[in-house]
C-alpha cells in the first residue's frame, strides 16, 4: 500500500466522520488564523509607524539646540543658539559633501481665520528646501520661492487638514487667511500624509522663515535645522560632517556639545526592533492556540483509535502491517491538520481585509508558510502517539473488541 | 506435495503459575489442498484458540505449525501480517467489514495491502463480488446490506486475493436459516472449485457440508471423522 493509497484512506476516514473531523479542524483553523492574523496586525502596525517616520522626511537628520543634560547644564555652559548661518554652513558642499540640503525651522503656534472659519495649528517657518527635506509635496498650487523668503512675503503652503478647516469645500489657492492677525496668501496645498502615532501630519502650515520671524516669533533661536543626507547609505558620513561643521562653528567638542542630533535612520531601527519583538510576542501567543489545537488532535485521534479498535483488528487480520496502520493514522491526523490550516488561512485572509484602529494588517508570507509547516508538524507530532497505539494493537484482542 | 496446514503437537498455554490454562494440548493436524475441514467443539474446547493459530493471528507456545510450508512460529508480527494477506482469507462470524466503506472498497482492501494497482484491484474486486452474487450492491455500505449480503461481501473479500486457505470462523453464527443456506452453498461452490476450507462451527448440520470433521475437547482432538 503506497503513500497515495494511505492518503486516500486517510481522507476517506476523515470524510466518514465529518462532525468530529470538523471540530478537530476547528482547533487548528483557529490556531493558524490567529498566528497569521496577529502577525499581520503586528506587521501592519509596524508598516504604519515606519511609514509615518519616513513621512517626516527622507534621510532626515534633525539638529536641536541645547545639551543632552537639559536646561540646568545649558545654564552652566555658554550655549550658542542655532542660527541661520549654521544652516548656511551645512549647505557647504566642500565641508559637508554628503549633506544634500539643510534648512532652518522656526515654529509658531497660530490661530488662523479665513472668512467665518477658524483653525489653530503650528506654522513652520523655513526655506523652500524644507519641502524636499520633509517630504512635503503640494497636490495643488505651488511652493514659495527663495525670493519670497528673501523678501519676507506673507505667503504659505497649507496641509490638507488646515485647508479643510479653513476653506471647507472651496479651492484655497490664492485665497487669503489671517494667522495671529497677519494676512497670508495660500500658494499650495500639501499632499496628505495621513494621521499616525505622531498626530495629524496634515495639520500644518509652511511659510517662509523670514516672514514667520518678522511677523510672528521675532528673531530668536531657531527651533531646529532639518538636514537631509544625500542617500540612506551616507547617513553616517552626513552626520559626521554635520557635527564637524557645527562643532567648529560653536567651538565645542563631544563633551561640551550645545546641540543635539536626532537621526531618523536610528529611530527607524529602534522602532523596528521594538515592533519586531511586539510582533514575535503576538505570534507566540497565537502559537499557543495552535498547540492547544494540536492537543485536540491527539485527543480526537485517541478516541478514534479506541472507537476503531475493531476496524484496526480487521485490517490487521487481512494483512495490514504495523507500518500501514501507523501511516494511515499519521496521514489522517496530518491531513486533518492541513485542512484545518487551509481554512485557517482563508479565515486569516478574510479577517486581515478589515482595518482595525487605523492599522491595515499586512500578511507576512513567512507566517503563512510557517503556519502550514507547523500544522503539518503538529499533525505528525500529535498524531504519532495515537497512531503508534493503533499500530501496536494485537489483532486477536482488537478483533474481540466490541 | 506440501500440505496446506501441517500442525505437529501444537500447544497453547495462557497465564502462568496456578492460573495456567492449556487452551490447546498437543494438537496435530494435516490439511491438504482442496480439503474441506470442519472444526467442532463445545465452548472452551479450544477451537477459537486453534482458529487464531491457524489464522496466524497468534503464535503457539509449543509445537510446529507450517502453513504452505512456511514455519509460522518463527515469524515476527510484520511477517505474520504478510502471511495472513497472502495465504489466508478470513470469514468471521460477525462479518467484520470495515464500516462506512463500500462493499467494493472492503473487497479491494486485501489487494491494496498486497500492493496491487488500483485498476486491477477494482476489476478483481468487482469479479469477486459478482461471483458471490452482489454485482448490484458494490457501492453499498455494510449498514445498507443484510446480514447474508454482508457475509457474502466477506466471502468475496476472503477470496479476492486467491489465498491458499479459506478460514471461516462460525460463518453462519449470526445468520438466519435462509442466509445460512446461502453462505454454505457459496462455500460448497468454493470447495468444488478446489479451494481449501477450514470452518469452525458448533452446529452439526453446518459441519455436514465439510468432507472431514474434527471435534475438540479440552484442547485435544477428540474425534476425527470423514463425512460421506
A362: left (phi over 0), alpha (psi -120 to 50) or beta: beta
Residue A75: per-residue pLDDT: 54
DSSP structural state of residue A216 = I
pLDDT confidence band for A176 (50 / 70 / 90): confident
In chain A, the percentage of residues whose pLDDT exceeds 90 is 0
Residue A125: per-residue pLDDT: 87
Between CA A286 and CA A309 the distance in angstroms is: 35
Residue A10: per-residue pLDDT: 75
Between CA A67 and CA A259 the distance in angstroms is: 5
Could you tell me the three cell numbers for A288?
A: 499557543
Specify the long-range contacts of residues A98-101, CB closer than 8 Å, at least 24 apart.
A98/A229, A98/A230, A98/A234, A98/A237, A98/A238, A98/A241, A99/A227, A99/A228, A99/A229, A99/A230, A99/A238, A99/A241, A99/A242, A100/A228, A100/A229, A100/A230, A101/A129, A101/A132, A101/A133, A101/A227, A101/A228
Residue A57: per-residue pLDDT: 67
Domain residue spans in chain B? 33-47+84-226
Residue A100: per-residue pLDDT: 84
Please spell the DSSP secondary structure of A149-167, one letter per residue.
HHHT--EEEE-HHHHHHHH
Between CA A278 and CA B155 the distance in angstroms is: 64
A398 has a pLDDT exceeding 80: yes
Residue A9: per-residue pLDDT: 73
Measured between beta carbons, which residues in chain B are less than 8 angstroms from residue A314? 96-98
Contact B33, B4 (CB under 8 A): yes
Q: What mean pLDDT is predicted for residues A287-303?
A: 83
Highest-pLDDT range among A32-41, A201-210, B193-202: B193-202
B61 has a pLDDT exceeding 70: yes
The ipTM estimated for the assembled molecules is: 0.90
Across chain B, what does the average pLDDT equal?
89
Contact B149, B99 (CB under 8 A): no
The DSSP element (H or E) to which B110 belongs, if any, is helix B103-114
Q: Does B92 contact A at CB distance below 8 Å?
A: yes
To test the contact with chain B by mutation, choose from A19, A307, A319, A323 the residue with the greatest count of B C-beta atoms within 10 A, namely A319
pLDDT confidence band for A236 (50 / 70 / 90): confident
CATH T-level topology, domain B33-47+84-226: Rossmann fold (3.40.50)
| CA–CA min distance A315, chain B (Å) | 8
Could you tell me the three cell numbers for B174?
A: 449470526
Measured between beta carbons, which residues in chain A are less than 8 angstroms from residue B105? 12
Could you tell me the three cell numbers for A220?
A: 530668536
Residue B117: per-residue pLDDT: 87
Whether B92 sits inside 8 A of A12 (CB atoms) is no
Residue B198: per-residue pLDDT: 93
pLDDT confidence band for A329 (50 / 70 / 90): confident
Between CA B197 and CA A384 the distance in angstroms is: 39
Whole-Å CA distances, A293 to A30, A296, A372: 8, 5, 14
Q: What mean pLDDT is predicted for residues B179-198?
A: 90
Residue A195: per-residue pLDDT: 61
Q: What is the pLDDT of residues A16-39, one digit of tens each?
A: 778 888 888 888 888 888 888 888
Q: What is the pTM of this model?
A: 0.68
Q: Does B128 contact A at CB distance below 8 Å?
A: no
Q: What is the pLDDT of residues B63-79, one digit of tens each?
A: 999 999 899 988 988 89
Question: Any bridge partners for residue B165, and if so which?
Answer: B88, B196
Whole-Å CA distances, A6 to A17, B105, B210: 17, 13, 39
Contact B159, B131 (CB under 8 A): yes
Q: What is the pLDDT of residues A362-385, one digit of tens each?
A: 777 887 888 788 888 888 888 888
pLDDT confidence band for B196 (50 / 70 / 90): very high
Residue B197: per-residue pLDDT: 92
Nearest partner of B26 among B184, B217, B164, judged by Cα = B217
A168-172, B33-37, B166-170, B215-219: lowest mean pLDDT where?
A168-172
Between CA A322 and CA A261 the distance in angstroms is: 70
DSSP reduced 3-state for A301 = helix
Q: Does B79 contact A at CB distance below 8 Å?
A: no
| CA–CA min distance B227, chain A (Å) | 30
Between CA B219 and CA B228 the distance in angstroms is: 26
Helices A3-16/A322-351 angle, 10° precision: 60
A326 has a pLDDT exceeding 90: no
Residue B157: per-residue pLDDT: 92
Residue B47: per-residue pLDDT: 87
CA angle A13, A19, A25 (to 5 degrees): 80
Residue A1: per-residue pLDDT: 53
Q: Which residue among A13, A310, A319 places its CB closest to the CB of B81?
A: A319
Could you tell me the three cell numbers for A225?
A: 535645522
Amino acid at each position: 500500500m503506497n503513500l497515495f493509497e494511505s492518503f486516500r484512506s486517510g481522507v476517506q476516514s476523515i470524510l466518514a466522520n465529518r462532525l468530529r473531523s470538523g471540530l478537530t479542524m476547528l482547533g487548528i483553523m483557529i490556531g493558524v488564523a490567529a498566528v497569521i492574523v496577529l502577525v499581520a496586525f503586528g506587521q501592519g502596525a509596524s508598516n504604519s509607524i515606519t511609514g509615518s517616520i519616513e513621512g517626516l522626511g527622507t534621510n532626515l537628520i534633525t539638529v536641536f539646540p541645547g545639551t543632552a543634560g537639559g536646561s540646568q547644564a545649558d545654564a552652566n555652559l555658554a550655549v550658542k543658539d542655532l542660527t541661520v548661518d549654521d544652516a548656511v554652513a551645512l549647505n557647504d558642499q566642500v565641508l559637508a559633501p554628503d549633506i544634500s540640503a539643510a534648512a532652518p525651522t522656526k515654529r509658531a503656534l497660530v490661530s488662523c481665520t479665513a472668512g467665518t472659519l477658524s483653525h489653530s495649528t503650528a506654522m513652520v517657518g523655513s526655506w523652500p528646501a524644507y519641502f524636499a527635506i520633509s517630504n512635503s509635496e503640494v497636490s495643488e498650487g505651488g511652493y514659495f520661492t527663495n525670493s519670497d523668503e528673501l523678501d519676507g512675503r506673507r505667503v504659505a503652503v497649507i496641509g490638507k487638514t488646515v485647508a479643510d478647516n479653513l476653506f471647507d469645500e472651496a479651492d484655497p489657492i490664492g485665497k487669503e487667511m489671517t494667522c495671529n492677525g497677519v494676512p497670508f496668501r495660500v500658494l499650495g496645498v500639501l499632499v496628505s500624509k495621513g494621521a499616525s502615532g505622531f498626530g495629524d501630519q496634515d495639520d500644518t502650515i509652511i511659510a517662509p522663515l523670514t516672514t514667520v520671524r518678522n511677523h510672528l516669533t521675532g528673531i530668536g533661536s531657531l527651533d531646529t535645522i532639518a538636514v537631509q543626507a544625500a542617500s540612506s547609505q551616507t547617513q553616517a558620513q552626513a552626520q559626521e560632517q554635520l557635527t564637524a561643521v557645527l562643532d567648529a562653528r560653536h567651538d565645542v567638542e563631544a563633551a561640551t556639545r550645545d546641540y543635539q542630533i536626532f537621526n531618523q535612520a536610528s529611530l527607524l531601527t529602534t522602532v523596528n526592533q521594538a515592533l519586531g519583538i511586539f510582533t514575535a510576542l503576538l505570534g507566540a501567543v497565537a502559537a499557543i492556540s495552535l498547540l492547544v489545537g494540536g492537543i485536540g488532535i491527539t485527543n480526537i485521534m485517541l478516541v478514534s483509535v479506541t472507537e476503531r479498535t475493531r476496524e484496526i483488528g480487521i485490517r490487521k487480520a487481512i494483512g495490514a502491517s504495523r507500518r500501514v496502520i501507523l501511516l494511515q493514522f499519521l496521514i489522517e491526523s496530518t491531513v486533518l491538520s492541513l485542512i484545518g490550516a487551509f481554512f485557517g488561512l482563508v479565515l486569516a485572509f478574510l479577517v486581515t481585509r478589515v482595518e482595525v484602529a487605523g492599522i491595515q494588517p499586512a500578511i507576512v508570507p513567512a507566517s503563512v508558510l510557517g503556519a502550514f509547516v507547523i500544522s503539518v508538524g503538529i499533525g505528525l507530532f500529535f498524531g504519532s502517539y495515537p497512531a503508534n497505539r493503533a499500530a501496536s494493537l494485537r489483532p486477536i484482542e482488537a478483533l474481540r473488541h466490541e | 506435495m506440501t500440505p496446506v496446514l501441517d500442525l505437529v503437537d501444537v500447544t497453547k498455554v495462557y497465564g502462568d503459575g496456578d492460573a495456567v490454562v492449556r487452551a490447546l494440548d498437543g494438537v496435530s493436524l494435516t490439511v491438504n489442498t482442496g480439503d474441506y475441514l470442519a472444526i467442532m467443539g463445545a465452548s472452551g474446547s479450544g477451537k477459537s484458540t486453534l482458529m487464531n493459530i491457524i489464522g496466524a493471528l497468534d503464535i503457539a507456545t509449543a509445537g510446529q505449525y507450517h502453513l504452505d510450508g512456511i514455519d509460522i512460529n518463527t515469524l515476527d508480527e510484520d511477517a505474520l501480517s504478510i502471511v495472513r494477506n497472502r495465504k489466508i482469507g478470513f470469514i468471521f462470524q460477525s462479518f467484520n467489514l470495515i464500516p462506512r466503506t463500500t462493499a467494493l472498497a472492503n473487497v479491494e482492501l486485501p489487494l491494496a495491502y498486497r500492493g496491487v494497482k488500483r485498476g486491477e484491484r477494482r476489476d478483481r474486486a468487482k469479479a469477486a463480488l459478482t461471483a458471490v452474487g452482489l454485482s448490484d450492491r458494490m457501492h453499498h455500505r455494510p449498514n445498507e446490506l443484510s446480514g447474508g449480503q454482508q457475509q457474502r461481501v466477506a466471502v468475496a473479500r476472503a477470496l479476492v486475493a486467491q489465498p491458499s486457505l479459506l478460514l471461516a470462523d462460525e460463518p453462519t453464527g449470526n445468520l438466519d436459516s435462509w442466509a445460512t443456506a446461502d453462505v454454505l452453498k457459496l462455500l460448497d461452490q468454493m470447495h468444488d472449485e478446489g479451494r481449501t476450507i477450514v470452518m469452525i462451527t458448533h452446529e452439526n448440520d453446518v459441519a455436514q457440508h465439510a468432507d472431514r470433521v474434527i471435534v475438540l475437547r479440552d484442547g485435544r482432538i477428540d474425534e476425527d471423522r470423514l463425512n460421506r
